[in-house]
Chains A and B, each alone.
Chain A
Amino acid sequence: MRYRKNGVNILVFFGLAILLLFFLSPIIWNVLTSFKDRGEYFTYPPVFISSTFSFEYYQHGLAIGGAKGIQDSLIITLSTTAISVILGSLAAYSIARFRIGGDNFAFWILSIRMLPPVASLLPLFLFFRFLRLLDTYEALILTYSIINLPFVVWLMKGFFEELPKELEEAALVDGCSRLGAFTRIALPLVSPGLVATALFCFMFSWNEFIFALILGRSRVVPVTVNIAGMIGGHEILWAEISAVATLASVPIILLAFVLQRFLVRGLTLGAVKG
């Protein structure tokens, strides 16, 4: 009997079941709320399953900005993810292979992540006003990219360092260019890590709130801002909020399920090595 391959005994099963219940029930509650009528979300005892169970609040939630919010979030998130993964892995490759910037470069990049967002909010606001980019997709895409880049560099550097140098050297001897060695040898080998990294970028940009609040406005309203707007109003439309929140979580959750293989493996590959 090996330590880690002993399957699931009854104790482990119960432990996992209880923990899963704790971690999933709030999400389930949210989904249930999205079907409730006005009179049903605040009652005692609480209503668990709505008696009407209609999709009315989904429609209404989408109509009052939810659809636009999800669309904006998609545009911003996909662009950000592409930009930061591409630029970030290039930089990470250089750092890993050629020790560009010495040993502390990666740490220095990561330290930018430490800066409290409030410190950069006003300067960024003024900066984008100067460029006349407020309330545009570009502003948020750029902002999220700089926030994501350090993280991408940090993760990808780990993945590249894991790769044996010899593979690329062999390719170089065979007449491959440096760029070729990167795109044809190194990149495919770290692709699980790349997918995991992209997923993290996607998650961050999809979920971000405070920058979106200040840099977006009327033309660009990501879904997080849209939801917060509904909660701050004079009448809190809980069913609509839950409906939009549920829809906003769908892409992320779908991605997580489709890419679950990469998620754990990607992290195993190198992230944890720093």
Chain B
Amino acid sequence: MSMKGKRERYLPLFFVLPTVIIILIISIFPLIYSFWLSLCEWEIGIGADRVFVGLRNYARLLTDSRFLNSLMNTGRVLFFGVGAQFALGLGVALLLNRSFRGKNLVSTLFLLPMMVSPVVVGCIWRIIYHYRYGPLNYMLNMAGLSSVNWLGSTDMAIYSIILADIWEWTPFMMIVLLAGLQAIPDELYEAARVDGANRWQIFTYMLVPLLRPVMIIVILIRIMDTFKIFDLVFLITFGGPGQASETVSFYNYLTGFRHFSMGYASSMAYFQLAIIVIIANIFLRVWRRREEA
């Protein structure tokens, strides 16, 4: 009995151990290693040795106009991209939050864009955005509008990326928000209706507060992923024209794996991580406060 009791006591630990070990070995190691690199200058392009330079890479970040530009672009994707995904996703979720025949089928159809690989999404949109032969400009022309220079204009390129991103990730927002909506018991709707609330009041006074934790989490997940947006930029514009559609993670890739300034690239990754952690903390604080209240 005592043997068994002992085994039982350590069982939970055994459950967690594999995960922790894997994460420690191949996730924490890169984390520490690349932090060390971020304090070094390491131009592996010319086979130079690693030189410890302290915080110089971080100082360089703040004066690198191309980095600041990429930060701005990421901000645009966050603001317009995630914003539109949220609004659209919530809209679709509200439309789907009712029972009708074929509802599961329709919801699944809505999910297809996020199921398709971003590489495929990039290829698809590159054809769609083609200035002379793309179906999008063709439809605009049919509607009597003039062609839009989707990929060849420095003002437009980043928004073309954003549109493709919205297309790809709205379904994610939609499905999670829909799940949240369906978790709300019918009785609450009934009660609200009995109290004489109209639809708008139900939405603002009941649904939004109840959905708040879900909203916060889903937006947070999208923000974290948006900082990593890479495949779409890589395939649709490769950051161009010029630097017009470079996002932080794309510029980060360029510095690390094209210019091979490994130290600088690592510092950029850490800077990015710091921003994400700050944002995540703000979100979670808001979320916890809600929960406690």
Q: Please list the residues of chain A having a beta carbon within 8 angstroms of any beta carbon in chain B.
A: 2-8, 12, 15-16, 19-20, 22-24, 26-27, 29-30, 33, 41-46, 87-88, 90-91, 93-95, 97-98, 100-101, 107, 109, 111-124, 127, 142-143, 145-146, 149-150, 153, 177-179, 203, 206-207, 209-210, 214, 223-224, 227-228, 231, 238, 241-242, 245, 248-249, 252-253, 256-257, 260-261, 263-264, 267-268, 271-274
Nearest CB to that of A179 among chain B residues? B11
Residues of the B chain whose Cβ atoms lie less than 8 Å from the Cβ of A5: 98-99, 186
B108 contacts across to A, CB distance below 8 A: 256-257, 260, 263
Q: Residue on B with the closest CB to A151? A: B221
Instruction: List A contacts of B16 (CB < 8 A).
Output: 90-91, 94-95, 100-101
Question: With A and B bound together, what is the CA distance between A45 and B140 in angstroms?
Answer: 12
The stretch that binds A, out of B49-57, B61-69, B75-83, B267-275, is B267-275
With A7-B99, A209-B118, A272-B217: A118-B104 Cβ-Cβ less than 8 Å: no
Chain B facing A: main interface SS? helix
Residues of B within 8 Å of A242, CB to CB, are 123-124
CA distance A32 to B70 in the complex (A): 35
A33 to chain B, nearest CB (A): 6
Q: Is the CB of B180 within 8 A of A23?
A: no
> B277 within 8 Å of A by Cβ?
yes
Which residues of the other chain, A, contact B181 by a CB distance below 8 angstroms? 4
Shortest distance from the beta carbon of B66 to any chain A beta carbon, whole Å:
16
The 3 A-B pairs of least Cβ separation, nearest first, read A119-B269, A123-B30, A267-B179
Find the residue from A41, A253, A264 having the highest chain B CB count within 10 A.
A264
Q: In the complex, A143→B231 CA distance in Å?
A: 18
Query: A249 and B124: CB pair below 8 A?
Result: no
Write out the residue numbers on chain B whose beta carbons fall within 8 Å of the beta carbon of A209. Answer: 117-119, 230-231, 234
Neighbouring A residues of B123 by C-beta, 8 Å? 30, 227, 231, 241-242, 245
Which residue of A23, A90, A145 is within 8 Å of B167 (Cβ)?
A: A23
Q: Which residues of B sit under 8 angstroms from A179, Cβ to Cβ?
A: 11
Mark B112-133 against chain A: 1 for CB-CB distance below 8 A, else 0. Answer: 1111111111111111101011
Find out whether the CB atom of A46 lies under 8 angstroms from the CB atom of B33.
Answer: no
On chain A, the residues within 8 Å of B217 by CB distance are 272, 274
Q: B119 touching A272 by the CB < 8 A rule? A: no
Q: Is the interface of A mostly helix, strand, loop or mixed?
A: helix
**19 pairs, CB–CB < 8 Å, chain A vs chain B:** A19-B95, A46-B134, A46-B135, A94-B12, A114-B227, A117-B228, A117-B249, A118-B252, A118-B268, A119-B34, A123-B33, A228-B235, A245-B119, A253-B112, A256-B111, A260-B105, A268-B179, A271-B179, A272-B213
Known: A5-B99, A209-B231, A267-B179. A22 touches B280 (CB 8 A): no
B19 to A: closest C-beta gap in Å: 4
For the complex formed, measure the closest distance between the CB of A171 and the CB atoms of chain B, giving whole angstroms.
Answer: 13
Task: Give bound CA distance, A22 to B174, whole Å.
Answer: 14
In angstroms, how far is the closest chain B Cβ from the Cβ of A26? 5
* Chain B, Cβ-Cβ closest to A241: B123
Within 8 Å CB of A111, what residues of B? 277, 280
Residue of A nearest to B231 (CB): A209
Q: How far is the CA of A245 from the CA of B116 in the complex (A)?
A: 9
Kindly identify which residue among A7, A153, A210, A267 contacts B19, using a CB–CB cutoff of 8 Å. Answer: A153
B100 touches A272 (CB 8 A): no
For the complex, give the distance between the alpha carbons of A251 and B217 in Å.
Answer: 28
Cβ of A238: which chain B residues have Cβ within 8 Å of it?
127
Contact present for A29 and B124 (CB under 8 Å): yes
**B104: chain A residues within 8 A (beta carbon):** 260-261, 264
Provide the bound-state CA to CA distance between A124 and B175, in Å.
33
Separation of A190 and B139 alpha carbons in the complex (Å): 47
B95 touches A15 (CB 8 A): yes
- Contacts beyond the supplied A2-B186, A231-B122, A268-B183: 14 A-B pairs with Cβ under 8 Å: A2-B193, A16-B106, A26-B167, A29-B128, A46-B135, A46-B138, A114-B280, A115-B30, A120-B34, A207-B117, A209-B234, A224-B119, A231-B123, A256-B111
The distance from the CB of A168 to the nearest CB of chain B, in whole angstroms, is: 13
Cβ of A24 to closest chain B Cβ, rounded Å: 6
B279, closest chain A residue (CB): A114
**B249 and A118 within 8 A (CB):** yes
CA–CA, A91 and B17, complex, Å: 8
